[in-house]
Amino acid sequence: MNAFKPVLTEHIHQKDCHTLPFYKSVGGYKALEKVLAMQPDAVIQEVKESNLRGRGGAGFSTGVKWGFIPKDSDQPKYLINNADESEPGTFKDRLLMNKTPHQMLEGMIIASYAINCNTAFIYIRGEFYKEYQVLKETLAEAYQANLLGQGILGSDYNLEVVIHRGAGAYICGEETGLIESLEGKRGWPRIKPPFPAIEGYLHCPTVVNNVETLACLPHIINHGADWFKSIGSEKGPGPRLFCVSGTVNNPGVFEEPMGISLKELIFDRAGGIPENKQLKAVFPGGSSSAILTAEEALDVKMDFEDLVEKKSMLGSAGVIVMDETVDMVQACLNIARFYAHESCGQCTPCREGTAWLVKMLTRIVNGQGKPDDIDMLYEITDNIGGRIDFSKGSFGKTICPFGEAVAWPVRSFVEKFEDEFRSYISQVEAVA
Amino acid sequence: MPLLKIDDLEIEVKNGTTVLEAALENGIDIPYYCYHPALEIVGSCRMCLVQVEGMPKLQVSCNTFVGEVPPERKVDGNFDMVVQTQNDLVIQERKNILEFLLLNHPLDCPVCDQAGECYLQDYSFKFGNAHSRFDEDKRVRPNEYLGSQIVINHNRCILCSRCTRFTREISGTSELFVDERGYSSKIAALEDRPLNNLLAGNVADICPVGALLSTDYVHKNRIWNLQKKSSVCQDCSVGCNIDAFYQKRKIFRLNPRENQDVNGYFMCDIGRYGFHRFEDLERVARPLFKSNGIFSEISWDTAIEKISNKFNGAEEKVAGVVSPFHTNETNFMLGRLIKGIIGTFPHIEDEEITYPSGFRISSDRSPNKRGMHDVCPSIVDDLASEINDKEIRVIYILDNEIDKEIDETWNKILTKMDFIVVQAYAMTRLAKSAHLILPGLAPFEREGTITNDQGRVQWLRSVLPNNGESRPDWEILNLLYKTGERFSDINELMKGMGEQFPSYSGMTFFKLGDQGLPLNGNLKT
């Protein structure tokens, strides 16, 4: 097997890698030229064949998503680049925007062309101010070079790209919450159906794609679907940016083929755990994924299938490492608090349930836990996120996946480290 | 048409019907809070979850649409959708959702105005746990005024967002919004943009719990002490359908009643709070005769005799003043009685308001102008000058409004009259100018029909009992007819009216029912 050569981050360490001249010097916008000579359907077909799956978290097939856009509708179509990267432990899109913004933009133009869209948006996380400045410069360069605007590169294709800055809500990374926010409304996810491909931005057909997903597109066009499929795992191929953080020596973003072992990521790429402490647990895919115990973590491949088998998920590929010194009850409270703070409050189970979890966990941490609390934690998480039956898909009960995103990790903490929760509670009993 | 199976019921439904609508129409009770037929579907309360065969998750029935599916996807060979609304899984889920909704709820039903008509109370009774499993502190917040007439009790609020959607979609004024986020979310209005639009009162009606309260009704009574009667609002020519809640002689509350041909689900605050102006009036309870400037009570027989004497031989010199505030039956009786001239007081137009949803408050703030003209076609354009021209000496007036001013022209006319009869329910200015006052019924005591400006005839039902010796207005006029020309009851009167005016033929209270009928309806035989 050939050694993997980074695709998306190949040039990020070079000087001025974010500029248009640099990007062009390494073959940038060649894919766009190729695409402009293709039929939009052929572009969709190529991406479908590449089996590119969304890099935002859900892992839905990009080509299939595009295919849902009605062809016979005369409504305008919209592409939204979801750059609202907010998942704890995830910082890959930020890197791509900082270092190779044109790669992402080229992907946006290709995607827009494929779905016949003439206005595209970049919904960028409000806190990414530096990246926002970079992107403004990127767009100016692109307009100047006729890569955007009217008659792109001499074709009859027009595209305007608008940057919209978010206002700091995690939920606006959920695609329908994002669309509401982009429309100037409160970021409350919409009930589905209708799905955005049918009724999205301003009730028009809309595709929402993640930054990294879009950045893959020029490479798929340049090297073909077969090349893309040859990288990493079969059912979800391609390069992937893994963000490793937590108790590791060398945290950062590592581009690796799908399916790299988590062990290799942590102990090789990220340099292992400081002071040779023992690994205790890992979030494999951002804080919304169920945690893995050390034993599970050392035996898992980082792709969609293997992680689902371990009853977790690849999510945003944000790997958060916890060593033996981490107090799992406190960590669980920390996660629950984050989700309670970010819950949009629209639907009942999530609004009430997340706060209940925080109140209960705080009480346990404060040494006032009761034996029944453990059972209640299971019940509450089940009642927010639904009982998880991986053979039948999730049993979510909320409008958007947020309910599951809080229920799964919290439940996994209790399930896998019940002893620690019990010891907090038994200390109380001992004192009493 | 798609074939839907809900529980054991197999029904054909219109393409695109939601499971919730289909269930409710067919008597299957699916609990819900955020759904309201007039508002956008948000599916946020999660109470209406049901199990749909072939779908891994429970589905909110308010947003699950039934459509025809191709033969190979039919369930059990012939159903387009199969839904379970009562199985253990669904019931358990309702209990779970309800538990969440009640975590922070104060459970203060004994002092809550919604008690007795509260969805939270009803479903807790049905699905709730006997004991709370919530060991933490409740979220407690003080009440706030959202507008001059609406108070919110945040602790009872379940954030169904019906009220915010109402101000966005129905009134189009958008005063209400959800402030803060997540667990801290609360319904709010901006300080400089309070909820003071003329449809504001509806938010208290559509609130499924006791969170939004009308200051007009708060802590006034308990719903189970009140009786309810369906009627029609009399404060403009739209004729919104209402339910009047009353106890003994007092109205406590008016609520809109659904009528898709008139007002949808709502009513305006002019009508909603309008009943108060009939309270604490100086009522006329017995016929009054003025001599030497002082009124004294007389019997009905004497009163009728005095009027008949004035009319006798001078029929051509009597003017009758009909009123757009009175029923078709009363106006018809006066119009038919008077042989001189028939007219009505000039009517001042108010502001016409139409909301984005189409809800309308008419510029004509009388309920029955159209009907009055229908049954009194000989109404003259300019009553004042006709009275002068024809040297009218006796005038018979159906009192108009309690706050009616008498202008200079009419003052002059009235002082010239030999005899003024006013049929009134209160000591209005007009009544005070009369020689003889006949006690009629106040608006909420009347029964009859009124015709709205779209030509819909509706049944105005009496809510409160008659006061003293006062009589129905049509009946008073009936006494002035010769014995052979009288009607035996109001049904006979309506029949007679229909014979004379065919667009009203065949109408009976029974046929008008709760929803009324259009003029020239299918009733003509």
Domain coordinates in residue numbering, chain B: 3-97, 134-278, 288-518
CB contact under 8 A, B181 and A169: yes
Kindly indicate the confidence band of residue A210, based on its pLDDT and cuts at 50, 70 and 90. Answer: very high
**A382 near A411, Cβ under 8 Å?**
yes
CB contact at 8 A, B246 and B227: yes
pLDDT of residue A395: 58
Chain A CB contacts of B135 under 8 Å are 360, 363, 370
CB contacts, 8 Å: A386 with chain B:
57
Residue B299 burial class via C-beta count within 10 angstroms: exposed 0-12, middle 13-18, buried 19 and up: exposed
**What is the pLDDT confidence band of residue B348, given thresholds at 50, 70 and 90?**
confident
Domain ranges in chain A are: 20-229, 241-323, 328-431
pLDDT 10s digits, A216-242: 999 999 999 999 999 999 899 999 999
Provide the CATH topology of domain A241-323: Ubiquitin-like (UB roll) (3.10.20)
Structure confidence at residue A385 (pLDDT): 87
Which residues of chain B lie closer than 8 angstroms to A342, CB-CB?
181-182
Q: Which residue of A has its CA nearest to B97?
A: A349
pLDDT above 50 for B463: yes
Asked whether the domain spanning A241-323 has the same topology as the one spanning A20-229, the reply is no
- Using the predicted structure, report yes or no on whether residue B54 has a pLDDT greater than 80: yes
Q: Which CATH class is domain B3-97?
A: alpha beta
Residues paired with B295 in a beta bridge: B290
> How close B146 comes to chain A (CA, Å)?
20
Length of chain B measured in residues? 525
- Structure-token pair, residue B426: 């209160």
Instruction: Please name the helix (run of DSSP H) or strand (run of DSSP E) that holds residue A364, with its range, or none.
Output: helix A348-365
Mutate to test the interface with A, among B19, B57, B95, B167 (most CBs of A within 10 A): B57
Chain B neighbors of A392, CB-CB under 8 A: 56
Q: Which residue of B has its CA nearest to A395?
A: B57
Interface confidence (ipTM) of the complex: 0.93
**pLDDT for residue B19:** 98
- Mean of pLDDT values over B115-124: 95
Q: Which of A77-91, B158-172, B336-350, B438-452 has the lowest mean pLDDT?
A: B336-350
The Cα-based distances of A277 to A19, A274, A321, B509 in angstroms read 42, 6, 12, 87
At A183, list the tokens. Answer: 């429309």
Q: Which residues of B384-404 are buried (b: 16+ CB within 10 A; e: fewer)?
A: bebbeeeebbbbbbbbbbbee
B288-518 classified as CATH 3.40.50.740? yes
Residues of B in contact with A354 (CB under 8 A): 182-183
- Provide the pLDDT for residue B524: 40
Percent of residues, chain B, with pLDDT higher than 90: 89
What pLDDT, in 10s, does the model give residues A250-270?
999 999 999 999 999 999 999
Lowest mean pLDDT among A33-37, A360-364, B123-127: B123-127
B228-241 mean pLDDT: 97
- Torsion region of B81: left, alpha or beta (phi above 0 gives left; psi -120 to 50 gives alpha): beta
- What are the angstrom distances between the C-alpha of B193 and each of A234, A342, B147, B154, B188? 58, 28, 9, 19, 10
User: Apex CA A28: angle with CA A26 and CA A29, to 5°?
Assistant: 160
Does the pLDDT value for residue B410 go beyond 90? no
Q: Do B161 and A346 touch (CB under 8 A)?
A: yes
Question: What is the CB-side half-sphere exposure of residue A15 using CA atoms within 13 A?
Answer: 0
pLDDT at B525: 39
- Average pLDDT rounded to a whole number, residues A137-142: 98
- Whether pLDDT at B111 is above 90: yes
The third-level CATH classification (topology) of the domain covering A328-431 is: de novo design (two linked rop proteins) (1.20.1440)
Q: What mean pLDDT, rounded, does chain B reach?
A: 94
Q: HSE-up of A37 (CA within 13 Å, CB side)? A: 6
| Sheet strands (E) in B233-317 | 241-247, 250-256, 288-291, 294-297
pLDDT at A429: 66
Residue A432 banded pLDDT, cuts 50, 70, 90: low
Band of pLDDT at residue B313, cut at 50, 70 and 90: confident
Read off the pLDDT of residues A281-313 as tens digits, 9 standing for 90 and up.
Answer: 999 999 999 999 999 999 999 999 999 999 999
Q: How far is A313 from chain B (nearest CA, A)?
A: 19
Query: A191 and B182: CB-CB below 8 Å?
Result: no
- For chain B, positions 41-100, list CB contacts with chain A under 8 A: 41-47, 49, 56-58, 60, 63, 65, 93, 96-97, 99-100
CATH class of B134-278: alpha beta
Distance between CA atoms of residues A378 and A218, nearest Å:
45
Please report residues of B whose CB lies closer than 8 A to that of A370. Answer: 135
Residue B523, pLDDT > 50, answer no
pLDDT at position A1 is 45
% of chain A at pLDDT higher than 70: 96
Pick the closest to residue B279 from B448, B402, B399 (CA basis).
B402
Residue A394 has pLDDT above 70, yes or no: no
Architecture of the domain made up of A20-229: 3-Layer(aba) Sandwich (3.40)
Q: What pLDDT band is residue B521 in, cutting at 50, 70 and 90? A: low
Pairing of strands B59-60, A292-293: unpaired
Condensed to tens digits (0 to 9), the pLDDT of residues B394-408 reads: 999 998 776 677 888
